């Protein structure tokens, strides 16, 4: 008998009717002969309601007490699902994070799981019970309630799957899988049957609303197969596993985009060792994260230095860079928040040349000018004017043949 860990998020448990629908899925899984551990979020909107209450009680609510408050959200759903299962004669038992003993560090509101004491859950499973666990929460070593931060329920599910050596961790959500591109931009986007952990990490922008990145990292580290599927309709979803050498794989898994970034350029800075640190030091000290960084050698021993930050940090970064420019004697600061980052992602590109040139040619053929380029082993990202977002994504989706799933190795190598 194989063990499945199944996680249901807020919209899947939005009300008692939805919780009963979750009971249907759990029972169906059980009927197919699986043991099952269910991990639940709070009802959609409940966490916001509790945060609203906290905001009324204090302008800056104490972080320990905020965790005491927020952890009630999942406690409600686990009790309701267990009742619904028992009502249908399926033995079920609920456990809070503290009852399981999901041990975390003591960083309230964004704790990290240190260890899981799985004895209690294992015992319940041997007694043929369906175990229903509160996601998002744990306790520190002093017994204080902690929460893992928003989306932490995914992390709980993956961590439970690791602790119990589960066959698969299923993340039920309101979409039926991960797509080759955002279907709102590319109507022809296709649900992927399968992709590699690393691809999922790079495709964060496609999966962010579906899967917490931290949980994917965790699943990758411990090699737990993750499956994303819908709690609203039947289907096989998208399986996220280790890269499979044997498998005939698509060269490109999908096209991601990100419109949350803004670009800053320092033109004409003296090209000497240590210049990058001098430019980015003040940015880092201000707690601003930098994504892409590009430096070109310019003329006359000067260089142009460009990087991107989140749009929320754009104004702050622009001010900081202005000061740095004066100090370094740079020619000028250019800033632009009307950009978008488009990426092609696929583990297949590791062993195949020609992806970059195919990408650039396809964009050029549509008259899309590339402002920045950045590459990793399994990803090529370009920054373009934001007006090209839809055109760029669709062009690449089509160029790599993603709409018909034919982008397997031999076809795709241009």
Span of 12-20, 192-200, 202-210, 231-239 interacting with its own copies by CB under 8 A: 12-20
62 binds its own copies (CB under 8 A): yes
CB of 121 to its own copies, least distance (A): 13
80 binds its own copies (CB under 8 A): yes
Nearest to 93 by CA among 73, 79, 72, 77: 79
Look-up: residue for tokens 């100090």? Answer: 327
CB of 164 to its own copies, least distance (A): 19
106 binds its own copies (CB under 8 A): no
CB of 27 to its own copies, least distance (A): 14
Binder of its own copies out of 86, 106, 109, 398 (CB under 8 A): 86
84 binds its own copies (CB under 8 A): yes
269 binds its own copies (CB under 8 A): no
- The C-alpha atoms of residue 67 and residue 139 are separated, in whole angstroms, by 10
| Residue placing its CB nearer to its own copies in the complex, 40 or 162 | 40
CB of 169 to its own copies, least distance (A): 24
Nearest to 372 by CA among 284, 311, 321, 308: 308
137 binds its own copies (CB under 8 A): no
Span of 82-90, 148-156, 246-254, 370-378 interacting with its own copies by CB under 8 A: 82-90
The partner residues of 343 in beta bridges, in order of sequence, read 256, 381
- The C-alpha atoms of residue 125 and residue 3 are separated, in whole angstroms, by 9
87 binds its own copies (CB under 8 A): yes
| Residue placing its CB nearer to its own copies in the complex, 9 or 98 | 98
Nearest to 174 by CA among 26, 77, 44: 44
Which pair of tokens denotes residue 408?
Answer: 């397997």
Span of 141-149, 274-282, 288-296, 305-313 interacting with its own copies by CB under 8 A: 141-149
Nearest to 315 by CA among 292, 337, 290: 337
Helices 355-365 and 389-399 sit at what angle, rounded to 10 degrees? 130
CA distances (Å), origin 356, targets 3, 253, 364: 42, 15, 12
- The C-alpha atoms of residue 378 and residue 343 are separated, in whole angstroms, by 10
E strand segments, 122-232: 130-134, 137-139, 145-147, 168-173, 194-196, 226-230
24 binds its own copies (CB under 8 A): no
Task: Check: CB of residue 414 under 8 Å from CB of residue 354.
Answer: yes
58 binds its own copies (CB under 8 A): yes
Binder of its own copies out of 16, 294, 334, 356 (CB under 8 A): 16
The bridge status of strand 145-147 relative to strand 194-196 is unpaired
- The C-alpha atoms of residue 355 and residue 349 are separated, in whole angstroms, by 7
Half-sphere exposure of 296 (CA within 13 A, CB side): 12
CB of 101 to its own copies, least distance (A): 9
- The C-alpha atoms of residue 252 and residue 355 are separated, in whole angstroms, by 9
Task: Check: CB of residue 97 under 8 Å from CB of residue 153.
Answer: no
CB of 281 to its own copies, least distance (A): 36
Binder of its own copies out of 11, 29, 72, 374 (CB under 8 A): 72
Binder of its own copies out of 68, 288, 292, 356 (CB under 8 A): 68
126 binds its own copies (CB under 8 A): no
Span of 48-56, 283-291, 337-345, 406-414 interacting with its own copies by CB under 8 A: 48-56
| Residue placing its CB nearer to its own copies in the complex, 19 or 166 | 19
152 binds its own copies (CB under 8 A): no
- The C-alpha atoms of residue 228 and residue 133 are separated, in whole angstroms, by 19
98 binds its own copies (CB under 8 A): yes
Q: Using CB under 8 A as the criterion, which residues of the chain lie in contact with its own copies when the complex forms?
A: 16, 19-20, 50, 53-54, 56-62, 64-66, 68-69, 71-72, 75-76, 78-84, 86-87, 92-94, 96, 98-99, 120, 143-145
């Amino acid at each position: 008998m194989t063990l499945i860990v199944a996680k249901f998020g807020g919209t899947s448990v939005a009300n008692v009717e939805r919780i009963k629908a979750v009971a249907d899925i759990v029972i169906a899984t059980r009927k197919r002969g699986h043991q099952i551990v269910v991990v639940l979020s709070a009802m959609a909107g409940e966490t916001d309601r509790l945060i609203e209450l906290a905001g009324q009680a204090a302008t800056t609510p104490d972080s320990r007490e905020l965790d005491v408050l927020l952890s009630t959200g999942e406690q409600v759903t686990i009790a309701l699902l267990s009742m619904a299962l028992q009502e249908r004669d399926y033995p079920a038992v609920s456990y809070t994070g503290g009852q399981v003993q999901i041990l975390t560090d003591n960083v309230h509101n964004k704790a990290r799981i240190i260890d899981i004491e799985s004895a209690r859950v294992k015992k319940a499973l041997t007694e043929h019970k369906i175990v229903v666990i509160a996601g998002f929460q744990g306790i520190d070593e002093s017994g204080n309630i902690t929460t893992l931060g928003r989306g932490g329920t995914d992390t709980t599910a993956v961590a439970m799957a690791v602790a119990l050596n589960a066959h698969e961790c299923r993340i039920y959500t309101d979409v039926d899988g991960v797509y080759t591109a955002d279907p709102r931009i590319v109507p022809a986007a296709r649900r992927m049957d399968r992709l590699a952990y690393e691809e999922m990490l790079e495709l964060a922008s496609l999966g962010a609303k579906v899967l917490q990145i931290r949980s994917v990292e965790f699943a990758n580290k411990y090699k737990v197969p993750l499956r994303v599927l819908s709690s609203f309709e039947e289907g096989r979803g998208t399986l996220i596993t280790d890269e499979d050498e044997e498998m005939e794989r698509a060269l490109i898994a999908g096209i991601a985009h990100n419109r949350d970034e803004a670009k800053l350029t320092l033109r004409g800075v003296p090209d000497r060792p240590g210049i990058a640190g001098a430019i980015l030091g003040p940015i880092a000290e201000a707690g601003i994260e930098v994504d892409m960084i590009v430096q070109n050698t310019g003329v006359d021993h000067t260089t142009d230095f460009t990087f991107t930050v989140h749009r929320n940090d754009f104004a702050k970064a622009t001010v900081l860079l202005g000061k740095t420019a004066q100090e370094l004697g740079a020619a000028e600061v250019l800033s632009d928040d009307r950009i978008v980052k488009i990426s092609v992602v696929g583990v297949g590109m590791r062993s195949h040349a020609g992806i970059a040139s195919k990408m650039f040619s396809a964009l050029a053929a549509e008259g899309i000018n590339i402002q920045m380029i950045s590459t990793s082993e399994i990803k090529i990202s370009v920054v373009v004017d934001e007006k090209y977002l839809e055109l760029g994504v669709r062009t690449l989706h089509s160029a790599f043949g993603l709409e018909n799933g034919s982008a397997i190795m031999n076809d795709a190598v241009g």
